[in-house]
């Protein structure tokens, strides 16, 4: 079996979503085990000291993640809390956008051009 991949982030437990902001060379990911959303520069992601926790409160099951590279916002779904939320790319200005009439939101995509 040919292995054409390389592991860039060690010590992961249960990552279910990730996105990349190409312009800044950053990777964003959700870890269900730790119930946190992280970010790091791709070339430094293997160093846990370089990994930044963006969101670590009020998360139950963060399963979907999308980076809005135009407006510098990060969106995520939480199937346990039944919410869709947003924060700035540095994890600040966190806000829940939808919290009603959602069964188990698990994925999200962002189209920053169309809104």
CA angle 18, 24, 29 (to 5 degrees): 15
Average pLDDT for 48-53: 93
DSSP code for 93: S
Tens digit of each residue's pLDDT (9 = 90 or more) over 3-40: 777 777 877 888 999 999 999 999 999 999 999 999 99
Q: Give the DSSP H/E element, type plus range, for residue 55.
A: strand 52-55
DSSP code for 72: T
Architecture of the domain delimited by 15-98? Beta Barrel (2.40)
Cβ atoms 18, 7 nearer than 8 A: no
């Amino acid at each position: 079996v040919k292995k054409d991949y390389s592991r860039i982030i060690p010590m992961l437990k249960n990552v279910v979503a990730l996105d990349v902001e190409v312009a800044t060379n950053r990777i964003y990911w959700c870890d269900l085990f730790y119930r946190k959303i992280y970010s790091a520069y791709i070339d430094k992601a293997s160093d846990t000291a370089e990994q930044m926790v963006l969101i670590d409160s009020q998360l139950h099951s963060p399963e979907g993640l999308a980076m809005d590279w135009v407006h510098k916002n990060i969106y995520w779904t939480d199937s346990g809390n039944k919410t869709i939320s947003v924060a700035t790319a540095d994890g600040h200005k966190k806000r829940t956008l939808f919290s009603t009439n959602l069964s188990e939101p698990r994925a999200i995509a962002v189209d920053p051009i169309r809104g």
